[in-house]
Amino acid sequence: MQKILMVCLGNICRSPLAEGILREKTNRLGIAVQIDSAGTSNYHIGDHPDKRTIANAKKNDIDISSLKARQFAVTDFDVFDMIFVMDTSNYTNVIALARNEADKNKVELILNRLHPSSNMPVPDPYFGGEQGFQEVFELLDKACDAIINSLNSAK
């Protein structure tokens, strides 16, 4: 079974939403994958996702209210096959913990699945308004479809 980790800064906005979207889609399709998310910072360890993220997910029929933030750990390289980061800052922080090339090769900017090699960020909605959350949802929804397509073709 493929094991996929979503990573952002706080693990309360972008990555728990990515986790929820990918879980919902793979459950619906009957694809067995293990999915988790983490933050590169320790700012929100133990916190549920941001209320605005929970509300946005709910509006899109996804329940992420019970998730709890945790910090990315070097042992995640041992557990997960793919590590999707939301922006180049997350990328730098995760790569800094990699112990070897195999670890580094697991780390990808998630929107590169939609726009290869563009290194586009999923914008951080934390300091913005409601519209930012829906924009993040739509980007992650498309990126998760692309991830699922690659899982299917790897079967």
Task: List residues near ligand 4NP by CB under 6 A.
Answer: 8-14, 39, 43, 124, 126
Residue in the block written with tokens 């090699």: 117
Rg over alpha carbons for the chain, rounded to the nearest Å, is: 14
CA 76 to chain centre: 14
Dist. CA 12–CA 8, nearest whole Å: 8
Q: Find the catalytic residue in 13, 14, 36, 144.
A: 14
Strand partners, 107: 83
**82 vs 122 by CB, closer to ligand 4NP:** 122
**13 vs 33 by CB, closer to ligand 4NP:** 13
Decide if 8 is catalytic.
yes
Q: Which residues contact 9 (CB under 8 A, 6 or more apart)?
A: 39, 40, 41, 43, 86, 89, 90, 124
**Which position's Cβ is nearest ligand 4NP?**
10
Q: Find the catalytic residue in 36, 76, 124, 144.
A: 124
Contact 70, 59 (CB under 8 A): no
**26 vs 56 by CB, closer to ligand 4NP:** 56
State the nearest-atom distance from the C-beta of 54 to ligand 4NP, in Å.
Answer: 12
List residues with catalytic annotation: 8, 14, 124
